[in-house]
Amino acid sequence: MTSMQMRRIEGGWGLLSMVQLLTGVVAPIGFFFPIAILAAAAYRPESHSPDVLYAMSDIYWLMLVGNACIFVLQVWSIGYAALVDNRAKPVFPRWFGYLNLVLGILLVPGAFVFLTKTGPFAWNGLLANMLPTAVYFIWKIATPIVLLRAVKSEEEEAAEKAAPSEQLAST
């Protein structure tokens, strides 16, 4: 739905809507594998040594937090599209564009989790995990609301375009 709304901004399938579509397809894979590793660790914990469970937990967190880079491209494409929309009634509100850009910036430190074990850039650190998670939570609530409003405005635009042609047909 996001790609279709961005397509309205670009007047067809453009670079931004295609980047969002492709990253929207690929990004969930980055969440699936870490969750599968954690599920494997929890499947038979009694049969694994604590070292194996620690290693699996570490892999889970490093992959989950460190794979955010593909999501950065996705939210930046959405944010940029929202900010370049010059229509009288924009598809997305400008604040949503800024929210996407800020989220993308906050996700970048996640790439450094592979280099540090403690501190703000660690998998559980303020910059790599806590702050991005808080803003992601806000984004996750705002996005469906904004998309539902965008779909409603698209329906209203379609009704406005259909109204003059219906009047001509009735005369």
pTM of the model: 0.87
Q: How confident is the model at residue 167 (pLDDT cuts 50, 70, 90)?
A: low
pLDDT tens, residue by residue, 138-148: 999 999 999 99
pLDDT tens, residue by residue, 25-51: 998 888 899 999 999 999 999 999 999
Give how far Cα 78 sits from Cα of 63, 93, 118, 131, 169, Å: 24, 11, 32, 20, 39
Q: How confident is the model at residue 168 (pLDDT cuts 50, 70, 90)?
A: low
Q: How far apart are CA 7 and CA 10, in angstroms?
A: 5
Give the burial class of 65: count Cβ atoms within 10 A of its Cβ; 0-12 exposed, 13-18 middle, 19 or more buried.
Answer: buried
